Structure 1
Amino acid sequence: MDYIKLIEAWKLEEKNGFEGWNFSHIAHRMMEEPLPWDYDKIIRHNLNADDRLLDMGTGGGEYLLTLNHPYKNTFVTESYEPNFKLCQSQLTPLGIDVRQVFDDHSLPYEDNLFDLIINRHESFDIKEVYRILKPDGLFITQQVGGLNNKELSKFLIKDFKEAVSSEYTLDHCIKSIQNQGFIILESKEYFPTVKFFDIGALIYFAKIVVWEFPGFSVEKCFEELCQLQSIMNNRGYVETKEHRFMIVSKKLK
């Protein structure tokens, strides 16, 4: 194994840029097991043209725009500065309301404003969601559970400290949503397998998902990356287990 060439290639991968929430750079170099539900179909089934829609943590608005929802009825939040600027340049000119939000406990909207709030992999305060949602309005979320990539994180990162508790599960989330005054219409949980077909793709991934791989760098984790490269050479891939759950809930009157 030529370690000098490896580290040079890996450091180049580490420097690759990332915009919005678009993993196209490594899409052909990894494979994610499909979830047993279709977030997009769930959203479209529950979305009406005259609904006021809020997409929490929209990223760069990539998914939102595929819905083709009337722009005047479309609102988004985003906290990450580069993504917020991207939303301002691409969504605001369309007439979509874009807000930068740093505090889940204080959303910049009036009470009972939205018919549908969607949230894919974004944190939320269920009290605020309840406040800004109309009676009979729907809150649909797909979340990353607390066991997501946990074993891989522990392997790569020395003295790993979890940013998200392993107890963050479907049952935990359902209880908090129900306690706030929602009824659960649908819910599911799954642990899909993700396979990386080269270590460079894993490096790119780990540098983006910094909360799961805190302090990750090629230099700091070189020994562990070489161990994974050996596994890759023998098996053709390195795999990790993700953790996903989804909830469709309705605000009681």
Structure 2
Amino acid sequence: MPHSSSDTPAPRSPGSGPEAGFDALVAEAQAAPVDGWDFSWFEGRATEERPSWGYQRLLAGRLADPAVRAALDLQTGGGEVLAGAGPYPPAMAATESWPPNLARATRLLQPRGVVVVAGPEEPPLPFADGAFDLVTSRHPATVWWPEIARVLAPGGTYFAQHVGPETVFELSEFFLGPLGGEVRRLRHPEAERAQAEQAGLEMTDQRTERLRMEFHDIGAVVHFLRKVVWTVPGFTVEAYRDKLRELHGRITAEGPFVAHSTRTLVEARRPA
């Protein structure tokens, strides 16, 4: 979503001005496309702090390393992050499984010399053992550590930004009720470190930050839940209309709905 800052524009209501009602906001959000990871639709309607490390900038530096001859970006989404991180090594591939994102990524990345591969998000990856000096991913839905280790060349690096534990749980619990301890432990950095090491990788960097999010109207909530589908699994406006109307009233009366995301920067190395 748009970066939060002192220059963030005032929240707006679409169509019929500041008095636009619940139905208009929801209808607009339902009509908006959800392919790719372009969050410009949220401008003026929601904000999210960004991690301090600047993943795309760091990614660009690693791709430009002359020691990297072949790189792979897993679950590239619509390709927006990778597209802004070139130039690339001599061999550059990306994977994506969701058809709308796959089409978008192909249009964006293929002219830049990136081979975009359609494939499932679970193993096996369609690549040979030790094929890549660098494997990257931004916000992978699932991290298959043994597969990452397999396709990395000896001495190769996995560099990624992961969604951390309890991300946007304030919003999830508003719709779903309290979430149990097992769900809260998912994506915990300590668990990921153990999984990486079990796969034979050495964790060389791991940093987590908790970041503030604000939703300024119910349309932003609906669009977010349609786009980031694991926040409320199975979400539809019809199934949650009463809760959406309740939240609309709360935002109207009290101001933005505040939630928090967590992000973890990960760098792991396959021993030479």
Question: Would the TM-score normalized by the shorter structure come out above 0.5?
Answer: yes
Task: Check if 1:11 corresponds to 2:27.
Answer: yes
The alpha carbon displacement at 1:138 in A equals 0.8
Higher relative contact order (CA 8 A, sep 6+): 1
For residues 192-231 of structure 1, what are the structure 2 equivalents within 5 Å?
192-231=211-250
Task: Call closer, same or farther: CA 1:229–1:63 in 2, change over 3 Å.
Answer: same
CA distance in 2: counterparts of 1:71 and 1:139, whole angstroms = 15
3-state DSSP of counterpart to 2:43: helix
- From 98, 122, 125, the equivalent of 2:144 is 125
3-state DSSP of counterpart to 1:137: strand
Report if aligned partners of 1:191, 1:243 keep a CA contact under 8 Å in 2.
Answer: yes
CA distance in 2: counterparts of 1:103 and 1:156, whole angstroms = 27
Residue in 1 that maps onto 2:85: 67
The alpha carbon displacement at 1:103 in A equals 4.2
If the length of structure 1 is used for normalisation, what is the TM-score? Answer: 0.88
Tell me, which stretches of 5 or more residues in structure 1 are unaligned? none
The alpha carbon displacement at 1:77 in A equals 0.4
Query: CA offsets per residue over residues 25-56 of structure 1, 9 Å max, x none?
Result: 11331111232322123323333146211111
CA distance in 2: counterparts of 1:84 and 1:92, whole angstroms = 11
The alpha carbon displacement at 1:79 in A equals 0.8
The alpha carbon displacement at 1:235 in A equals 3.1
If the length of structure 2 is used for normalisation, what is the TM-score? Answer: 0.83
**Identity over the aligned pairs, expressed in percent?**
27
Residue in 2 that maps onto 1:251: 270
Residue in 1 that maps onto 2:3: none
Tell me, which stretches of 5 or more residues in structure 2 are unaligned? 1-19
Task: Call closer, same or farther: CA 1:86–1:93 in 2, change over 3 Å.
Answer: same
For residues 88-167 of structure 1, what are the structure 2 equivalents within 5 Å?
88-122=106-140, 123-157=142-176, 165-167=183-185
Query: CA offsets per residue over residues 53-99 of structure 1, 9 Å max, x none?
Result: 11111112111111222374211000111111223333334432111
The alpha carbon displacement at 1:247 in A equals 1.1
Report if aligned partners of 2:56, 2:84 keep a CA contact under 8 Å in 1.
Answer: no
- From 55, 59, 64, the equivalent of 1:43 is 59
Query: CA offsets per residue over residues 197-218 of structure 1, 9 Å max, x none?
Result: 1111111111111222123233
- From 15, 30, 46, the equivalent of 1:30 is 46
3-state DSSP of counterpart to 1:240: strand
CA distance in 1: counterparts of 2:170 and 2:257, whole angstroms = 12
Task: Call closer, same or farther: CA 1:8–1:27 in 2, change over 3 Å.
Answer: closer
3-state DSSP of counterpart to 1:35: coil
Report if aligned partners of 2:35, 2:227 keep a CA contact under 8 Å in 1.
Answer: no
- From 70, 78, 99, the equivalent of 1:81 is 99
* Structural RMSD (CA): 2.4
Residue in 1 that maps onto 2:12: none
Letter in 2 for 1:11: A
